[in-house]
Structure 1
Amino acid sequence: MEKKIIRIINNIETAVYLCLLVLLTIVIVFSLLELAYTLMAGLVSGDFMQLSPKEILAFFDFFLLVLIGIELMETIKSYLETRRIQVEIVLILAIIAVARKIIVVDTEITGALMLMSIGVIIFSLTAGYYLIKKGNSLKIENK
């Protein structure tokens, strides 16, 4: 009886992940179309073939947002294939998200403490990613 309930719960969990994957794919496709439209609109409006710094930052912001969506999709796909959360992918996702924040941050408004905090977060994430990669390479060498 317990095995049957666990199997049902696992099936529901898989269905939820698949639904999330489909919805995320739709969001990414429409975001990509919006990104292309934004770029084209910025290029042809005003001075031809000249983007303002604000338009370029908005483009990078949107671009990195789409990249985060793709990495999130990779996390879900990886979980469905292996039934394990790949910590490397999650750390890459977090690094991209913080990098996005750094790129679009307004340094005139953001205080020094916030910038230092973001730096500590970036260092911690990259150190964690390095240690996981190093640990994985040591596991492979020991086998």
Structure 2
Amino acid sequence: MITLIKKLERGLMLALVVMMALVLVLATVELGWIIIKDVLTPPAFLLEIDELLEIFGLFMLVLIGIELLETIVKTYLHESANHAVIVITVAIIAVARKVIILNVSETSGMTLLGLAATIIALCLGYALVKSKRPLLENIQPPES
């Protein structure tokens, strides 16, 4: 019964990988279309700030999707991956995307402090997990 559940889980993960790859291809095509459209509209080859923010936001969204796809593949299809490092890395990229597209003039000070606290917490978590990893790898299981 457990073998059947493991096979079902693996099949579902493979389906998610295929669907995520399809979404990433479509998002990349959409990004390309937006860039071409914005560059060719008058004034040609000049982008306004809102267009740049839209392009950067979508670009970062595609990168987050790629990281998420890599996370699914590494975490669930290869059992040896360090799950915490991968999840924290994706979270750092997602927060970085938010910071890049953030309009500081329209954002409250509390929101900025919250983002700063989130960034610090994620970076500290990443450093702690990475520093403990070698210690965990050196521990040998007891022999029976």
The TM-score with structure 2 as length reference comes to 0.88
Q: Report the RMSD for the aligned CA atoms in angstroms.
A: 1.9
Q: Which runs of 4+ in 1 moved over 3 A?
A: 137-143
- Residue 140 of structure 1 and its aligned partner are, at CA, apart by 5.8
| Gapped regions of structure 2 (runs ≥ 5) | none
Q: Distance in 1 between matches of 2:20 and 2:114?
A: 30
> Alignment identity in percent?
35
Alignment of 1:40-55 (within 5 A): 40-55=36-51
- Residue 130 of structure 1 and its aligned partner are, at CA, apart by 1.3
Alignment of 1:3-18 (within 5 A): 5-18=1-14
SS of aligned partner of 2:111: helix
- Residue 46 of structure 1 and its aligned partner are, at CA, apart by 1.4
Task: Answer whether contact 1:64 1:100 (CA < 8 A) is retained.
Answer: yes
Q: Which residue matches 2:84?
A: 87
Query: Which deviates the most, 77-86 or 18-27?
Result: 77-86
Q: Which of 52, 62, 69 is equivalent to 2:58?
A: 62
Q: Which residue matches 2:23?
A: 27
| Gapped regions of structure 1 (runs ≥ 5) | none
- Residue 137 of structure 1 and its aligned partner are, at CA, apart by 4.0
SS of aligned partner of 2:47: coil
Q: Cα deviation per residue 1:82-135 (whole Å; 9 max; x = unaligned)? A: 265621111111011111111122223321001100100001001111111222
Q: Which of 124, 127, 138 is equivalent to 2:124?
A: 127
Task: Give the counterpart letter for 2:66 in structure 1.
Answer: I
Task: Give the counterpart letter for 2:127 in structure 1.
Answer: Y
Q: Distance in 2 between matches of 1:14 and 1:139?
A: 27
Q: Distance in 1 between matches of 2:40 and 2:64?
A: 27
Q: Does 1:107 align with 2:98?
A: no
Task: Answer whether contact 1:75 1:85 (CA < 8 A) is retained.
Answer: no
Aligned residues: 139
SS of aligned partner of 1:108: helix
Query: Which deviates the most, 11-20 or 84-93?
Result: 84-93
Task: Give the counterpart letter for 2:27 in structure 1.
Answer: S
Q: Distance in 2 between matches of 1:38 and 1:66?
A: 13
